[in-house]
Amino acid sequence: MEVRDLSILFIISKMGKGGAQHIVLDLANAMAAGGAQVDLLIFYRTAQDQSILAELDSRVGLLNIFPIALASDHENSPKKIFAFLLLPFLAFWWTVSGRLAKYHIVHSNLMLASFFAWICSVFQFLSRKPAPKYVETFHSDLVSLLPWERKLFYLFWKMSDSLVVELRRRDFEILQKEMPGHHISYIPFGIFPLEMPDRNEIVAHKKIYRDTPIILSIMRLQQHQKRVLDLLMVIDQFRKIYSGSFIYLLVGDGPDRQRAQEFVRSAGLDEYVKFTGYMDDIRLICATARVFLIAGIEDLVGIAGLQAASLGVPIVSLQMDPEWKNTESIFFNSASHQVLAEELERLVRDDAYYKNASGYAASTVQSTFSVDQMVASYARVYTSIVTKEKTG
């Protein structure tokens, strides 16, 4: 069986600005381009999903299980809570009514979709129609999970037919040992390099900030998984060792935005830190940035970091993995705020050092983080588990 013979349902709670959403978009588009019948099921709409859904291939069917729209990704409104309470019953209905029978693959992404797929798989025996193969991508890492989140994911994963780990290589090794006999793959995500804006646009954009060096972060403003407060602490350290002017742009939004703003005020960083909110097009801001600051696991960073690196922006990463010991990392990383601040200072101050780091960033993204490689790996997972059932 080949990709063009498959019918695939991708499930994710919402399409917004996150890395998981970009990966689902690229996979859905690629599978549709390869001839597969593809649908994308989301649970609700948000104000931030318009730009990414505009990139969805017209051959991909968009299914919205709840007719609600939220003002932001992190809004906890009564209608959102009510929708989540209804989710198990809808998953049950989708299963027993046979709505999933037309799909060879049901591919879930993030916890709510994982829960939905788990309910479907639990009650699959009540449907008289053929069962799909359940695939799950783990878009996070075991280090960042709370204990209850980890227990839930393990419960959900045991009912899947295939689990894909995309971030922490150590998690792949741990899960292979803790779930022996389960089909587990490690598939690092890939990106499409950003297109460099016109030089005149870049020059004009830099003038807005008076040609001041820009340190950039694009992220969900959350402390637990994204370490937004820690990154601000790094900027506070950098401010103490760098005597020149600079701007730290925090692009994005999230549940800890107010905490971050309070830290900025208390640390006296108001003149340096700018909160921009979400941006639909990040090309120009990436092209004008001197450095990209982010929190990462092992030597990997998120989609936005790789997109910035594709334009030659050096990466400086706060290491969140307490077990990471490798000294030959893909991107510069450290768990020390002081060490990160010193690296930022060198990149901003030393033009020759910056030029080497910029060239390395762009070439590394092109050689290591390919969308084509990611898509081919997923295609092998899909076809192998479907073919195995037909021949088994």
164 in the same domain as 70:
yes
pLDDT for position 317:
97
pLDDT for position 70:
80
Q: What is the DSSP letter of 38?
A: E
pLDDT for position 84:
87
Number of domain units in the chain:
2
Exposure string of 66-95, with b = 16+ CB inside 10 Å and e = fewer, is beeebebbbeeeeebeebbeebeebbeebb
222 in the same domain as 178:
no
- Specify the pTM: 0.89
- Rounded to 5 degrees, what are φ and ψ at 26? -65, -40
Instruction: State how beta strands 105-109 and 61-64 pair.
Output: unpaired
Contact, 36 vs 125, CB < 8 A? Answer: no
∠ CA 38-44-48, rounded to 5°: 95
233 in the same domain as 110:
no
In this predicted model, what pLDDT tens digit does every residue of 114-159 receive, in sequence order? 999 999 999 999 998 999 999 999 999 999 999 999 999 999 999 9
pLDDT for position 17:
81
pLDDT for position 390:
57
Residue 124 CA to residue 365 CA, distance in Å, equals: 41
| Ranges of the chain whose pLDDT falls below 50 | 391-392
CATH number, domain containing residue 128:
3.40.50.2000
316 in the same domain as 293:
yes
203 in the same domain as 162:
no
Residue 334 lies in domain: 199-368
pLDDT for position 128:
86
328 in the same domain as 386:
no
pLDDT for position 392:
45
pLDDT for position 77:
76
pLDDT for position 47:
83
